[in-house]
Amino acid sequence: MQDYSGEEMEWQLVVDPADAGGRLDAALARAVPVFSRNRIKDLILAGSVTINGATVAEPKYRLKAGEALVLVAPEPVEADPVAQDIPLDVLYEDAHLIVVNKPVGMVVHPAPGSLDGTLVNALLYHCGDSLKGIGGVRRPGIVHRLDKDTSGVMVAAKTEQAHNHLAAQFADHGRTGPLHRAYLAWAWGRTQQARGTVDAPLGRDAANRLKQAVRKDGREAITHYMVEARFGGEGWDITRLRCELETGRTHQIRVHLAHIGHPLVADPVYASGFATKSNRLPEEPRRAVEALGRQALHAALLGFEHPATGEDMAFEAELPDDLRRLETALSPFDLAIVR
């Protein structure tokens, strides 16, 4: 199975006897989970599927054992982002790149449902003519992303050379180079160890394609964590962790911490079973948690090699107001076990 990267891609499969008699759209939806059933149907109707070399545009087509299916998904057409005057917290900028502290609630790249108001829209306005073009298009080079409701440090390239150099560092995940990413995370419960590693492959959740899940057939994902502080009282515990990534999968920290039983505080997706935990908190921490409305996660540190000078650079982003209020509310309940 291939991952859909946004470029034209092809999937090939042979109908198993167990799938004989089943519908074409249902079989492809199972085999190519990066697409929804509706998207599969649209691709079939558009003539993107062949069976034994002949185009089949009928989603209800009944399969026969041994038939060779080929699905070709064309490159998606993206909206042309426009420059928008949106305030940015710029931590560093030169002719090659820009480093910003992304705020909570900002989507990184335009997508259906978020065609404007994104970081890309803001960078187009802020950088203007200093953007020298990526792939022949005057746009910022996005080499990594943060979830909409995760705050913190991000870097974007201004030139093709800088984009390629930074992209290679992120692809390496710092295993052989200087790339370094550290996140602050507030998680429910008290971890048994002061430090540890979660090594669990991630893939799309079979029951909800908007979520990620630990899967045996998923992509390698490794998160290292260290306890920075423990807060607690009667019937409740919250641990502040410093998480460092050895890979960079979608929702990686959120899924990994939930996997070991310590989902992020206020995470609406992966901590839904912990929603009532806040009721056990003292008044001030409870108010701070309920006011978050998003996962308690912040990209605090980003280090990398400058693509032009070769200098090792590191940038830190201060906590946003909502997490600062959470820290203040929790501080009287610091158990002082780990320092």
What residues act catalytically?
A: 147
CA 264, chain centre distance (Å): 15
The pairing of strands 151-157 and 141-142 is: antiparallel
Following CA atoms 316, 321, 325, 326 in sequence, which dihedral angle do they give, to the nearest 10 degrees? Answer: -60
Q: Which two tokens stand for residue 254?
A: 């959120």
Contact (CB, 8 A) for 263 and 243: no
CB atoms within 10 A of CB 14: 10
Contact (CB, 8 A) for 243 and 181: no
Phi-psi region at 133: left, alpha or beta (left = phi > 0; alpha = psi -120 to 50): left
Contact (CB, 8 A) for 304 and 315: no
Task: Determine which helix (DSSP H) or strand (DSSP E) holds 210, and give its type and residue range.
Answer: none
CA 13, chain centre distance (Å): 29
Sign of CA dihedral 255, 256, 258, 263: negative
